[in-house]
Structures are given as structure tokens and as C-alpha cells.
Structure 1
Amino acid sequence: MLNLERLRTLDALARHGSVSGAADGLHVTTSAVSQQMAKLEREVGQQLLAKNGRGVRLTDAGRLLADHAARIISQVELAQADVEAQRGRAVGELRIGAFPTAARGLFPAALSALRTDHPELRVRSREMEPSEGVLGVVRGELDLAVVLDWYNKRLPVPGGLVRAPLLDDAADVAVPVGHPLADRKVADLADFADDDWISWPEGEFCHEWLMFTLRGEGIEPRIAHMAEEHHTQLALIAAGLGVCVAPRLGRGPVPDGVRLVPVRDTVRRHIYVVWRADADRRPSIRAAVDALRSAGEQLTDDQR
């Protein structure tokens, strides 16, 4: 009989395209992946992997079995959802990811509520960028991911996922205290055309949004500095090194040398949570969505 964990390893290899990628996705060593595949090849009596330069590729038999493995794993997830739904309680393990400001702004209240209301549920959380969160849910490495759309740019979300809105998050422009617009009650993005910008790193969804948006305003931005953490961005601004877009969710205290200027046409992020459609009936999914939504509603009330 085929071993389910070895089929999961084969599925991870097919999705990630390498032994190291599969190991990272499964949170095991590359040696463990190789050992599982060697055992699976002995079970089926066929070669499933072939060398491809410094890496490996699936043989025809490997691709065939990987297709079956994906369907088997999906069916197991459906079975887990049905059993959990029949029990009617949020139980077992729930893996959830969120981009950093959402993790900081939503997780403390939401995960605390889940621990109190559903003591049989074990929650594991991770910070990750929105695109990584979506990919983690698609691959089955996460049960839920908190992600975002900007008001004028959507994050690509593949089919087979369910999504639920959590909150809309407004953003301001953060400037040094000595900036000419520091005391303005409202400004346009175009007013910062001559400033140096502090951005998220290249390749991240929010960096792509910033470039897209500023260019849409007729601004060719001068990106002087890149920092992933908002607190680092604000520290650079306090030193007088540029300006940045500063969302309110998870922002926390602002350094004394920084002023926040609201944007005339409000810049917003739409925060939502995604999960696989085949897990839709799991009470743990519904409990987590409710807890995240409640945390988002509380934040919205506090900002009014």
C-alpha cells in the first residue's frame, strides 16, 4: 500500500520542482526528501526521479503518480474537513500566515480569542509576504493566509481558493518633521514628485504597487532606500532621508521626527483572508475567519 507521507513528498517535489524546494515546503531536510523518494520508488517498483543537471526531474511514472498524489491529498483534506464538520468543533492544528503589518495588527487579538474560545485548536502562525501566503495555501502548507489588494492593484489569486474581506486599511504619506508639507492636513501624491522615496524591496507586491501608482500620477519615483519593515522605513524618514507610504494597520508608535500626511484621494489596502475551497466546511477555518474579522472590526472602530 502506498504511504501517504511519501505521496506528500512526491507532490511537494512536483509543485516545487526541486528537492531543496520540497524540503523547504515540507519543513524537513533534503536528506529526508531523498530518503522518502527512495522508499516510494521501492514501493512502486519504478524510477520516479531522474537526474537533470545538478537537480532532478520527474520521470513519466513520477509525473503520473504525482497527479494521483495531488488528488489523493485533496481527498484527504476533504475527509478531514468532513470529520471536523461532523464533530462541529474547531479542533486539531491550524496553520495561518500573514504579511508583517497584518500579523502585528490582527494576530494578537485574533489568536488570543481562538485560544480562549477553542481550546482544542492549536494555531501556528507565520509572517510572510502576500504572494508567499497565497502560494502557501495553494500548496497546502498553510490553511489560511491574510493578504491584501491595493485600491488600484489586485494581488493575483488563483482559482480554487475562497476569500473573505476583513477590513479596509487607509495609508498616509510619512515625511520628516522639517518637510515643507509636514503640517498639511491633506496632500496629493503628486505633491511629493520631487522627494526621495523609501520603498519596500524590489519584487514585493507593495513595491510594484508603489511604482505603478506613482507613475500613474506622472511621477518617476527616485527610490533612495529600500526596507521591508515599516519601522525601519519610519526610522529612515525621521533621519530626513525621504518619504514613504505608511499604512495604518500594525503601524504602532511613530518616531518624533516623523509627520503623517493624509492623501486627498484616500490610499487604501483591502485586507482579506484566503483558504482552499476543499477545506471550506472545517469549523476551524470558520472560527479563524470570525476571529480575524472581529479583530479587524475592532481596529476599524478604534480608528474612527
Structure 2
Amino acid sequence: MIDLRRLHVLRAVDHYGTVTAAARALHFTPSAASQQIRQLGRELGVTLLEPQGRRVRLTPAAQRLLAHADEIQARWELAELDLREDSGQPAGLLRMAGFPVAVTALLAPATAALVARHPRLVPRVREAEAADCFDLLFDGDVELAVVEAKPDEPPRDRSRFDQRPLLDDPFDLVVAAGHRLAGRDRVNLAETADDPWIVPSATCTCRTQVLAACGAAGFTPDVAHDSMNWNATIALVAHGLGVALVPRLAPLPPGNAVVRLPCAGEPRRKILTVTRHGGRTGAAVAAALAELERLVPALLAV
């Protein structure tokens, strides 16, 4: 009989990338985590870890075992849902996570609607960036996450996470109220090639999309300022320090003299809903997904 606790340690090493990172997440020492995996290998009669320089890596046998482990985890998720939701009605604790704009524009209003519609449901929202959302899902700390897809990274393990599109969020050009383009109904980004630009900092997912949109319009933006959040971006634009691309989901703070302009070609970012495999069919998660989908049409209106 496989010890499922040891199997979870192996899954954690695969998810977090190293024994040290997995041990930290599981509150083990690295040596204890390695010992758990070695013991699992002895029980199965295979080697699961092998040296790679000063580190270790998972063997082909470990990778084959992980495919079965993910199926076991998905079946366990379904079994838990079946036992907890005998009435078929949303009830109990529902933990959700999302990046800051997703919390503001999506999870906050969806949670309010869930509370009003389903009095037996107890939603909890946690703000977290995309990478942390996947870790929270893997660790069982949330049931549903809203994340921004990263175009420059490969997709997360599809056998472990159920990722589905929620919406394509267009980027609009934001300019100061006195800018020469402010009175237009729609603009071509090429018209801003000579403007100074405010772009997301290197740690922000949207930087890649902004630079790609400018590149598709035929120019490299003259980056005058970097910012880490949309409020800072909009403040810089309002003071006439440059132009910026801002996702439509990001609200414009009141009192800022800026204008939001749709762009020809509508550059977009993809927003996804993510659960663990087997977790999407539960009544509570299904109710939350329905509320999120109800919000989308109004949010994307200009």
C-alpha cells in the first residue's frame, strides 16, 4: 500500500521544483523530505531521486508515479465534494484567490452576490499574484483562483490544474485630459510612437503584453517611467508624464484628469479561472464561477 503522505511530498517536489522548496512549503527539513521520498521508493522498489550536480532530480519512474498521483488527488477531490454537498446546494467555506485587479473587479462583487444568493455559503477572498495562486491551490488553501495568463511562460501542469478562460481583457490607451489624442473615439498605437511611456515594471506580468502591443504597432516605446500598480501609472499619466496601456478591468481612480481610449486591434490579456482537477464540479465553486461569468459583459463595456 502506497503511503499517500509520502506521495504528497513527491508531488510537492515536482510542483515547487526542488526538495528544499517543497520541504519549506510542507514545513519539513530538506533531509526529512528526501527521506520520505527515499522510503516511498523503497516501498515501490524503484529509485525516485537521482543526483544532478549538487542537487537531485526526479527519475523517469518518479514522473510515471506522479501521473498516477495526480489522478488519485483528483479522485479524492471529487470524493470530498460528493460527501460534503449531499444537498447539491452551495454551502460551507469557499476560499478564493486572485491578483489585485481581479479582486477589485471580479472577486469582490462576485463574493457579495454569493453572500446574497446563498446564505449557507461562506466565501473568503485572498489577494495573491498568479504564482502564489497556483501554490495556494496545490497546498489546498483555496478552491478557486483567478489569474492572469503569462504569455512568456509555458502553461502550468494541465494534469494538476484545471485552467479555463474567463475573459480577454482589452488594454486601452490612457492619456492626460489635455493630450492631443484625448478627444478621439479610438486610436492607433502607432500614433504614440514619439510619446514618453509609462510601462509596468519588470516584475509585472502586463509588461510583456504592453511591449508586445507596441512592437505590433511598429515601434519600441520610449520608457520614461516604470510603475508597479495601475494607480501609480494613472497618476503619472494625469500629470502629463507619458501615456500608458491600462487593462479595461483596472478602474480609473476618481479625480484624475485622464481619458481612456480604445485601441485599434484591441491588444488583450487572458484572464483564467483555475481549480484543482476535480474541484470545478462542486456546488460552491460552480456558483462562484457563475457569478464571475455574469459580471464579464458589463465589465468589458467601454
Q: Does 1:127 align with 2:128?
A: yes
Change over 3 Å in CA distance of 1:224–1:142 after alignment to 2: farther
Counterpart residue number, 1:227: 227
Counterpart residue number, 1:11: 11
Change over 3 Å in CA distance of 1:39–1:218 after alignment to 2: closer
1:242 counterpart SS class: coil
Q: Distance in 2 between matches of 1:168 and 1:30?
A: 40
Q: Distance in 2 between matches of 1:172 and 1:147?
A: 20
Counterpart residue number, 2:35: 38
Shift of 1:192: 0.3
Q: Distance in 1 between matches of 2:93 and 2:51?
A: 36
Change over 3 Å in CA distance of 1:11–1:149 after alignment to 2: closer
Q: Distance in 1 between matches of 2:70 and 2:168?
A: 35
Amino acid at match of 1:291: E
Q: Distance in 2 between matches of 1:177 and 1:298?
A: 25
Change over 3 Å in CA distance of 1:79–1:187 after alignment to 2: same
Q: Distance in 2 between matches of 1:263 and 1:212?
A: 14
Change over 3 Å in CA distance of 1:154–1:45 after alignment to 2: closer
Change over 3 Å in CA distance of 1:45–1:265 after alignment to 2: closer
Instruction: Assess if the C-alpha contact under 8 Å between 1:106 and 1:295 holds in 2.
Output: yes
Cα RMSD (Å): 3.8
Instruction: Assess if the C-alpha contact under 8 Å between 2:187 and 2:263 holds in 1.
Output: yes
Instruction: Assess if the C-alpha contact under 8 Å between 2:99 and 2:129 holds in 1.
Output: yes
Question: What does residue range 73-84 of structure 1 map to in structure 2 within 5 Å?
Answer: 73-84=73-84
Shift of 1:209: 1.9
Counterpart residue number, 2:193: 193
Amino acid at match of 2:293: R
Unaligned runs of 5+ in 2: none
Write out per-residue CA displacement over residues 131-182 of structure 1, whole angstroms, 9 at most, x where no aligned residue.
76568768877533324579xx8996565535253x5544421123443323
Q: Distance in 2 between matches of 1:43 and 1:137?
A: 24
Amino acid at match of 1:35: A
Q: Percent identity?
A: 31
1:57 counterpart SS class: strand
Q: Distance in 1 between matches of 2:85 and 2:12?
A: 27
- The answer to which of 132-141 and 187-196 deviates more is 132-141
Question: What does residue range 273-292 of structure 1 map to in structure 2 within 5 Å?
Answer: 273-292=273-292
Amino acid at match of 1:128: E
Shift of 1:229: 0.9
Counterpart residue number, 2:104: 104
Change over 3 Å in CA distance of 1:258–1:157 after alignment to 2: same
Shift of 1:286: 0.5
Instruction: Assess if the C-alpha contact under 8 Å between 2:9 and 2:36 holds in 1.
Output: no
Shift of 1:236: 2.1
1:278 counterpart SS class: coil
TM-score when scaled to structure 2?
A: 0.76
Shift of 1:76: 1.3
Q: Distance in 2 between matches of 1:19 and 1:239?
A: 49
Question: What does residue range 136-175 of structure 1 map to in structure 2 within 5 Å?
Answer: 143-147=143-147, 157=155, 159=158, 161=162, 163=164, 165=166, 167=167, 169-175=169-175
Amino acid at match of 2:227: A
Q: Distance in 1 between matches of 2:188 and 2:60?
A: 57
Change over 3 Å in CA distance of 1:211–1:285 after alignment to 2: same
Counterpart residue number, 1:249: 249
Shift of 1:231: 0.8
Instruction: Assess if the C-alpha contact under 8 Å between 1:15 and 1:139 holds in 2.
Output: no
Counterpart residue number, 2:212: 212
1:175 counterpart SS class: strand
Q: Distance in 2 between matches of 1:8 and 1:115?
A: 34
Q: Distance in 1 between matches of 2:258 and 2:106?
A: 24
1:172 counterpart SS class: strand
Q: Distance in 2 between matches of 1:62 and 1:180?
A: 61
Amino acid at match of 2:289: V
Change over 3 Å in CA distance of 1:149–1:55 after alignment to 2: closer
Instruction: Assess if the C-alpha contact under 8 Å between 2:177 and 2:259 holds in 1.
Output: yes
